[in-house]
Amino acid sequence: MKQSAIRANEFTDDPYPSRNGIPPAIIERKDPVVYGANSTASPLTQTQLEQYREQGFLVLENLFRDNEIAALQQEMVKLRTDPQLHNAEETITEAGNGEVRTIFRVHALSGVFSKLSADERLTGIARYLLDDQVYIHQSRLNYKPGFRGKEFYWHSDFETWHVEDGMPRMRALSMLITLTENYACNGSLMLIPQSHHQYVVCDGETPENHFKASLKKQEIGTPEDKFLEQLVNRGGIITATAKPGSVILFDCNLIHGSNSNITPHPRSNVFFVYNAISNAVTEPFCNRPPRPEYICTRRNIRPID
C-alpha cells in the first residue's frame, strides 16, 4: 500500500502521462531531439542532423563492409535455428505457427552482436545525439519470415519504455541494422515523420504481465485512430527501404509500425536501443512490476566503452 502511494505521488509529476485514467490526447514534447550542441564534433553532417531533428529518423547506407554483413547474416541464421535458444525466455515466437519472431538481449547472447552493439560507428552517433555516455536499454533480433510474418501496429517506443520500464525522459534512440533486403513490400519499417515532436497519451491501463501478450501483438499503448490520422496528415508515412548493412536511426518517440509480410522475401534486422546514462530507468510509471531484464536493462547498466 505504501509503495502504491509513493508511485501515485510520482505520477503527479510525470511529464509524459499515459494509461493512467486521463483522457487520450496529444501533448507537446518537453525534451530536445538532438542534445549535442557542438556541431563540429558531430559524426553526422549538418544536413543529416537537421533531418534527424526535424523528421525524427535517418537512413545511413554503406556503414558496413560486405564481409561484415556476411558475418552478421551467418550469426543471425545460427541464432534463429538454435534449438535451445528457441525455447529460451528471450525468444518470442509467432502466435500461429511458432516461428521465431524476436530474440531479445541479443547483445548478451552473441559475441558477434555484442561487438556490433559497441561499434564506434554506432555508439559515436548515439553519444553525440544524446550528449552522454550510453548503454544498451534493449537489444533484439527481429525476424519477419516470408508469406506469414505478422504486422506490428503503430506505436511510440518511448510510451512503452516510460510506462512499463520507467525511462524518465526522451533521451534514447534506436538503431536498426538491416540484415536482409528491406523492400517496400516485405513488411519493412514504416515511420510517421515529425511525429516525435508530440507525445500521444494512450487510453486504458497496463495489464499484469502485459509484455507476454504485447510482444506478439500490441493493443495497449497504441494511439487512437484520430491522433494517428492527425499525425499522418502532417508528416505522411515513409517506408524505410534499405539494403543489407544499412542503419535506420530513429528517435525514441517516433511513431512507427510495420505491415505483415506476405511476400516470399524474409525481412530480418537487429535493433539496438541506446539510452543516456543520465536517463537510466527508474520505477515504471504504472502500478506494475518492471519488465524482465532481458527486455529492459535495469540491473546491469554500464556505459559502453
C-alpha pair distances (Å), 244 with each of 65, 116, 179, 247: 10, 15, 5, 9
By mean pLDDT, which of 35-39, 114-118, 208-212 is the weakest?
Answer: 208-212
The SS3 assignment for 251 reads strand
Question: What is the chain's mean pLDDT, rounded?
Answer: 91
Instruction: For residue 202, give the DSSP letter.
Output: P
| Whether the predicted pLDDT of 216 surpasses 80 | no
Q: What are the pLDDT digits (tens) for 78-127?
A: 999 999 998 899 998 876 667 788 999 999 999 999 999 999 999 999 99
Strands, E assignment, the chain: 25-28, 57-60, 91-93, 100-104, 134-144, 152-156, 172-178, 189-191, 198-201, 238-239, 247-251, 255-258, 267-276
User: What is the model's pLDDT at position 82?
Assistant: 92
- On whether residue 258 sits in a domain, the answer given is yes
Distance CA 212, CA 122 (A): 30
State residue 204's pLDDT score. 87
Rounded to whole angstroms, the Cα distance separating 100 from 85 reads: 10
Burial class of residue 242 (count of CB atoms within 10 Å of its CB; 0-12, 13-18, 19+)? buried
- CA atoms of 114 and 107, how far apart (whole Å): 4
Tell me, what's the pLDDT at 148? 82
Task: Please state the pTM of the whole predicted model.
Answer: 0.92
Asked if residue 17 belongs to a domain, the reply is yes
Q: Is position 298 within any domain?
A: no
Any domain includes 293 = no
**Whole domain around residue 178: which residue ranges?**
2-279
**Is pLDDT of 292 > 90?**
yes
**Contact (CB, 8 A) for 139 and 293:** no
Output the pLDDT for position 136. Answer: 98
Residue 212 pLDDT level (bands cut at 50, 70, 90): low
Q: Residue 294 domain-assigned?
A: no
Asked if residue 273 is part of any domain, the answer here is: yes
Cβ neighbours around 42 below 10 Å, total:
17
More confident residue, 33 or 95: 33
* Residue 287 domain-assigned (yes or no): no
Lowest mean per-residue pLDDT among 86-100, 154-168, 208-222, 238-252: 208-222
CATH number at residue 234: 2.60.120.620
Which pLDDT score, from 0 to 100, does residue 268 have?
94
Residues of the chain with pLDDT > 70, as a percent, come to: 93
> Total structural domains in the chain?
1
**Residue 78 falls within a domain, yes or no?**
yes
What's residue 198's pLDDT? 98
Grid cell at residue 243: 539494403
Residue 41 pLDDT: 86
- Residue 108, helix vs strand vs coil: helix
Phi-psi region of 204 (alpha: psi -120 to 50; beta: other; left: phi over 0): left
Say if CB 219 and CB 212 are below 8 A apart.
no
Mean pLDDT of the 38-59 span? 94
Q: What is the pLDDT of residue 149?
A: 82
Percentage of the chain surpassing pLDDT 90? 78
pLDDT at 274 over 90: yes
Lowest mean per-residue pLDDT among 62-71, 168-177, 214-223, 267-276 = 214-223
Q: In this model, does residue 243 exceed pLDDT 50?
A: yes
- Other CB atoms within 10 Å distance of the CB of residue 156: 27
